[in-house]
Amino acid sequence: MPAPFLDTNILLRHLLADHPEQSPRATAFLQRVEDGEAEVYTSDTVVFELVFTLQRLYKQPKDKITKAVLPLIELPGVILPGKRRYRAVFDLFVDLNLPFADAYHAVLMKHLRTQEIISFDRDFERINGVHRLEP
C-alpha cells in the first residue's frame, strides 16, 4: 500500500500546539514519521500553505518559520519531490527577506539551469545569478 498524503493542518496543529485534541495526535503521528515507523507523501503546495499560514495568519517571523518547518520536511519519512532544494529556498527567504514563492522560483530556476525570469517583480534583482527581464 502506498504511503498516505500529509495535509497542511497536521503540520500546523503540531507546530502550533493550539488544539487540545488534534495537536497531540498530530505530534504523535509526526513522531512515528521521525522514528521511521511511517512514511508520508506531501507536496510543494503543502509547504507553501504552511509557510503562508504561519507568516500571515500567525505572524511568525521568517527565521522561526524556517527553524520549525525545515526539520519537518527534511525527515527521511517525508516524501517530497525536490525537498533537497528547500534548504536553499529557506536561506533566500530569510537572508534576502524574499517572499517564499520568489525564493522557491529562484532555486527552481537554478535547478532548471536558467538564469532569466520574465517578471515585473524587482525582488529578483537581489538574487545572485538571476537576471530579470520585463516583457
Domain boundaries, the chain: 1-81, 83-135
* C-alpha to C-alpha distances, 133 to 100, 105, 115, nearest whole angstrom: 20, 15, 10
Rounded to whole angstroms, the Cα distance separating 112 from 10 reads 31
- State whether residue 81 is helix, strand or coil: coil
Of the two residues 21 and 1, the one the predictor is more confident about is: 21
pLDDT (mean) for 104-132:
96
* C-alpha to C-alpha distances, 78 to 11, 34, 71, 97, 101, nearest whole angstrom: 12, 9, 10, 27, 21
pLDDT (mean) for 9-20:
98
- Looking at residue 1, its pLDDT comes to 83
Cell of 46: 503543502
Per-residue pLDDT at 7 exceeds 90: yes
Cell of 98: 524574499
Per-residue pLDDT at 32 exceeds 90: yes
- Looking at residue 3, its pLDDT comes to 96
Reported pTM: 0.93
